[in-house]
Amino acid sequence: MGNVVVVGAQWGDEGKGKLVDWLSEQADTVVRFQGGHNAGHTLVIGENVYKLSLLPSGVVRPGKLGVIGNGVVLDPYALAAEIDRLAKQGVVINRDNLRVAENAALILSVHRELDGLRESGPVGTTIGTTKRGIGPAYEDKVGRRAIRLMDLAEPETLPSRVDRLLTHHNTLRRGAGLPEFEAAAIIKELLEIAPRVLPFMDVVWRLMDEERRAGKRILFEGAQGALLDVDHGTYPYVTSSNTVAGQAATGSGIGPGQVGYVLGIAKAYTTRVGEGPFPTELHDEIGERIGVRGHEFGTVTGRKRRCGWFDAVLVRQTVRTSGIHGIALTKLDILDGFDEIKICTGYRLDGKEIDYLPASQAQQARVEPIYETFKGWEGVTGGARTWKDLPAQAIKYVRRVEELIGAPVALVSTSPERDDTILVQNPFEA
């Protein structure tokens, strides 16, 4: 298919960093198509460890082009800070390896402050965001009052654009009893950062077409997970963008027919950060054990992740909403040594069995998981690189996952090391 889209098939934190890094070695261009700097991932290349939040993974590899698409909301100060951090590690970011869509909406101080204000509200009203201004920036984009990257190149237009933005935000601030933002301060904020980010500006939809026509391999790198999609996720406990594979086209300006192979990433168990429903969550010693063994803490926030058994209902749902061709199953090694392992195969809602997660928030809170119990395996899967390295019971577990989610397992990751991967099907060669 030529091009590959990587999406999280759960609630994010599925281990996309390792797989994206592995795939980016084969790609020419790596594109971020949604989200902001709220979704972090760690890349380990040789002796070097890189922590990225906004930059596409390809920028740390020589000869690769990283692209931030129009579907991303861009904090220009966060971008500059991330570029500076990488520079200290010897990675030079310039126009040769990074381009940013001219029509990407910007995250400003007004957005960060509003996000923090909302998240400090009464119990039951918060979403559990990273307080980085992502949601408010998307609101302004949809409300047609956003400041976009291209506006920084025309400073004479900024006063009218900022006035339009503050008409909305200062109304909110007056209602909250807060002092209003001054337009001059926002304009100063924009003008100061403009020289750092404008050199990367490009017409990304045209660039994508040029890359495609030149026969380049394009890797579309999704952030977060499909269950956090603003339409198809566990609303309202979702992110503010579309995280399903279809957004790869919309968020970069390439035609949907050029997207290619969709690789979903899923852990061999389930985790979630922040608020929201979690049918298979474990509040016992087993859940704690999974969290400790899996080092389940957020890359960006350091927040402890909630842990539970693999939920085949949810992954099957994301296989359908993202058109997933194959799954990369990660962290299988974390399940080593368990006497029993469970998989959620369905739900019980008000006494009836159902095979999907309802969209209703009230119904989501009432669903009860139906489990299938597996005998655990003896032996170690950690570091396995071929099927014969896996215990027979572990292979049985993987095969059952395939049956339940309706998609083949294309890769199995057995440790954080990039080479500890069982490759069944290379997405770029499918």
Q: How far apart are CA 186 and CA 197, in angstroms?
A: 16
Q: How far apart are CA 35 and CA 56, in angstroms?
A: 12
Contact call for residues 86 and 53 (beta carbons, < 8 A): no
Contact call for residues 58 and 24 (beta carbons, < 8 A): yes
Contact call for residues 183 and 162 (beta carbons, < 8 A): yes
Catalytic status, residue 325? no
What is the Cβ-side half-sphere exposure of residue 167, based on CA atoms within 13 angstroms?
10
3-state DSSP assignment of residue 110? helix
Catalytic status, residue 13? yes
Tokens of 149: 């990257």
Q: Which of 37, 41, 111, 169 is catalytic?
A: 41
Q: Which of 13, 115, 140, 151 is catalytic?
A: 13
222: left (phi over 0), alpha (psi -120 to 50) or beta: beta
Tokens of 11: 């609630």
Which residue in 198, 199, 218, 200 sits closest to 208, CA to CA? 218
Q: Is the dihedral angle over the CA atoms 212, 218, 221, 225 positive or is it negative?
A: positive
Q: How far apart are CA 347 and CA 118, in angstroms?
A: 33
Q: How far apart are CA 156 and CA 148, in angstroms?
A: 14
In this structure, which amino acid lies at residue 180?
Answer: E
The residues, ordered by sequence, that sit 6+ positions from 100 with a Cβ below 8 Å of its Cβ are: 67, 68, 74, 79, 149, 197, 200, 201, 202, 204
Active site residues: 13, 41
